[in-house]
Structure 1
Amino acid sequence: MVPSGHLATAPPAAPAGSREISTITLCELSPDATWRRPVLLDRELIVLTTGGHGYAEVDFRALPCRPGTLLRIRPGQVLRCALPQLDATVVRWHPEALHGLDVDADDVPAWVQLAGEDEDAVINEVSQLTVDSRRHRGTPSGRSLLRHQLTVLLLRLSMLRSGNWRASRPEEVAFRRFCREVELGYQQSRRVEDYADRLGCSVRTLTRACLAVTGRSAKQVLDERVALQASRLLAATDEPVARIGRQLGFTEPTNFGRFFTREVGVSPGAFRAARDQRGRAPVVRPRSPVDARTAAHHA
């Protein structure tokens, strides 16, 4: 059990050095072998399924997994393997571990089922990284080796996405800029006007961009991001509901309760109660439309 008021997170951050990049097993990610509740992650992850069949829930979305399935999970997301039927190797790292290298981990797809030569290459690279992270821990040359091995892995995975990636339309560029600003400011403001001012555009421009990419307005996208963060904290921590509301900019608990119920369909208390059930918790609409389309396509 996690003490009240403490986060149910992955193991503590590794010290600086070669352990900035490490590999562990899937079961080592959760302090509870039964995955009774989601784990709020504090590092970048690549999860490569090596055995079993089942589902991994990333931000309350169930993703099918079998040997060769690869997940890309970001810090701040929540992960739960409600039915522990999967074996997987987890590559984890701190964002600063790749500083100065020409790679963008955000180009890696959130879900991909590897096959053929791609699967062989990724398995070989993950296996070698696993061996080297154990053999060469704590040496400057080992640290450099792991950084470059991870860079090669991420570049290879990003090429899987680029093969089907379209040139960005102006609406997609505007939408991504809006999402970046939302990530920085959603705890302080839920007014689209504030983000339009920061980006130097009109509310209409942001709304048109969001509708083109997601089918939802800019205000809906913003509110869904706030609801997702609330859901993460309710599911993965023991923070009081009122405190979570204050963290997200709600001065009154009743306002937070109404907002959450409107967005998710259940009250904060009911959502939290559902986390300990064997079935999946109520699903929150995903934050990233691109990742949502990927998951839906392969589910």
Structure 2
Amino acid sequence: MVSSGQLSPAPSGHPATAPAEIETVALGDLASDPRWRRPVLLEQDLLVLTTGGHGTAELDFRALSCRPGTLLRVRAGQVLRCSGAHLDATVVRWDPAALRGLDVDPDAVPAWLQLAGEDEDAVINEVSQLAVDCQRHRGVAAARGLLRHQLAVLLLRLSLLPRRAHPATRAETVTFHRLCREVERGYQHTRRVEDYAARLDCSVRTLTRACLAVTGRSAKQVVDERVALQASRLLAATDEPISRIGRRLGFSEPTNFGRFFTREAGVSPGAFRAARERPAPGPVVRPRSPADVSSHPCGA
């Protein structure tokens, strides 16, 4: 095992035709451009453990400071870019099927954690061992169970770390999470809170009260922010035409999409895309602490 601050580097230089179900790589392997001039739209779930250097990671356009012991939980579909000083980090990535049948919720891990003391030592040891076993048993079907359970233990440990208590009641938090799940299924088709209230068999007032308690924003703001976030991801990390992005998000006319995005982001879609090789022009959604709404956040 390895003591704090001495995590073994992730194995690299082993190209494969398709990602393994669970694997570890170096942070630099996530971006084809080593300068990270553009955000990367990620297709797998990740844990990113910083082992050296100081810098900033932009996760869905929120700047998160990183130094040794910083851990990021990145979900498939989010965009990531590391800017500023070079960071050394080990990345654990996995496909959803890797945790099927195991009693673990990856979304219980907050987006940002600064590890310290015994917690840091334990996480470093587990990530290090996982990296070693991913390399040692690469392509060995019999090792699949070992890697699955190692990942599950790591995620469970991270989900149990103490964090700031949330002021919302349990009922409000449950309602908010139910809304987020419905928004994930429906944001490309409707932005009407009334539609989500009908699907959840509750009132608009109930949804708004829950969102205000958990996030400080109304239900309508939560829904609109999710749409704006997805638009921002596609504008920044793909070359898809702006008009097509608007249609994908339920806007029949490009002008309507342009007005919506400008209202939410403060800049037009074209200006946002033009600035994508520079540091994020500002948060697309209203600022939140990385630890806020850590479980099943809208936009995950």
Q: Which amino acid aligns with 2:49?
A: L
Asked if the contact 2:56/2:65 (under 8 Å) is kept, the reply is: yes
| Structure 1 or 2: more helix by fraction | 1
> SS state of the match for residue 81, structure 1?
strand
Query: How far did residue 126 of structure 1 move?
Result: 0.5
Residue 226 of structure 1 corresponds to 227
Residue 110 of structure 2 corresponds to 109
Residue 134 of structure 1 corresponds to 135
Q: Structure 2: how far apart are the matches of 1:167 and 1:213?
A: 5
Q: Which amino acid aligns with 2:195?
A: D
Q: Can you list the C-alpha shifts for 1:58-97, whole angstroms capped at 9, x where unaligned?
A: 0000001000000000011000012251000000000111
Q: Structure 2: how far apart are the matches of 1:167 and 1:102?
A: 25
Query: How far did residue 285 of structure 1 move?
Result: 1.4
> SS state of the match for residue 103, structure 1?
coil
Asked if the contact 2:167/2:213 (under 8 Å) is kept, the reply is: no
Q: How does 1:17-28 map to 2 (within 5 A)?
A: 19-28=20-29
Structure 1 residues 161 and 285: CA distance shift in structure 2, 3 A? farther
Q: Structure 1: how far apart are the matches of 2:119 and 2:56?
A: 22
Query: How far did residue 164 of structure 1 move?
Result: 4.8
> SS state of the match for residue 205, structure 1?
helix
**Structure 1 residues without counterparts, runs of 5 or longer:** 1-10, 295-299
User: With structure 1 as the length reference, what TM-score do the two structures score?
Assistant: 0.88
Q: Structure 2: how far apart are the matches of 1:246 and 1:177?
A: 26
Residue 284 of structure 1 corresponds to 284
Asked if the contact 1:40/1:79 (under 8 Å) is kept, the reply is: yes
Q: Which deviates further from its counterpart, 246-255 or 139-148? A: 139-148
Structure 1 residues 139 and 287: CA distance shift in structure 2, 3 A? farther
Does 2:265 correspond to 1:264? yes
What is the root-mean-square deviation of aligned Cα atoms in Å?
2.1
Asked if the contact 1:61/1:283 (under 8 Å) is kept, the reply is: yes
Q: Can you list the C-alpha shifts for 1:231-285, whole angstroms capped at 9, x where unaligned?
A: 00000000000000000000100000000001111000000111122x3333211
Query: How far did residue 152 of structure 1 move?
Result: 0.7
Structure 1 residues 165 and 133: CA distance shift in structure 2, 3 A? farther
Q: How does 1:131-170 map to 2 (within 5 A)?
A: 131-161=132-162, 164=165, 168-170=169-171
Q: Structure 2: how far apart are the matches of 1:167 and 1:207?
A: 13
Residue 4 of structure 1 corresponds to none
Asked if the contact 2:53/2:85 (under 8 Å) is kept, the reply is: no
Q: Which deviates further from its counterpart, 103-112 or 210-219? A: 210-219
Q: Which amino acid aligns with 2:38?
A: R
Q: Which amino acid aligns with 2:253?
A: E
Asked if the contact 1:214/1:289 (under 8 Å) is kept, the reply is: no
User: With structure 2 as the length reference, what TM-score do the two structures score?
Assistant: 0.88
Q: Structure 2: how far apart are the matches of 1:129 and 1:118?
A: 17
Q: Which amino acid aligns with 2:136?
A: R
Q: Which amino acid aligns with 1:76?
A: G
Structure 1 residues 239 and 86: CA distance shift in structure 2, 3 A? same
Asked if the contact 1:107/1:161 (under 8 Å) is kept, the reply is: no
Structure 1 residues 92 and 53: CA distance shift in structure 2, 3 A? same
Residue 211 of structure 1 corresponds to 212
Does 2:52 correspond to 1:48? no
> SS state of the match for residue 101, structure 1?
coil
Q: Structure 2: how far apart are the matches of 1:162 and 1:108?
A: 10
Asked if the contact 1:221/1:287 (under 8 Å) is kept, the reply is: no
Q: Can you list the C-alpha shifts for 1:19-76, whole angstroms capped at 9, x where unaligned?
A: 2000000000001111010000010000000000011000000001000000000011
**Structure 2 residues without counterparts, runs of 5 or longer:** 1-14, 295-300
Does 2:184 correspond to 1:180? no
Asked if the contact 1:109/1:161 (under 8 Å) is kept, the reply is: no
Structure 1 residues 203 and 13: CA distance shift in structure 2, 3 A? farther
Query: How far did residue 139 of structure 1 move?
Result: 2.0
Q: Structure 1: how far apart are the matches of 2:82 and 2:252?
A: 34
Q: Can you list the C-alpha shifts for 1:172-191, whole angstroms capped at 9, x where unaligned?
A: 11111101100110001111
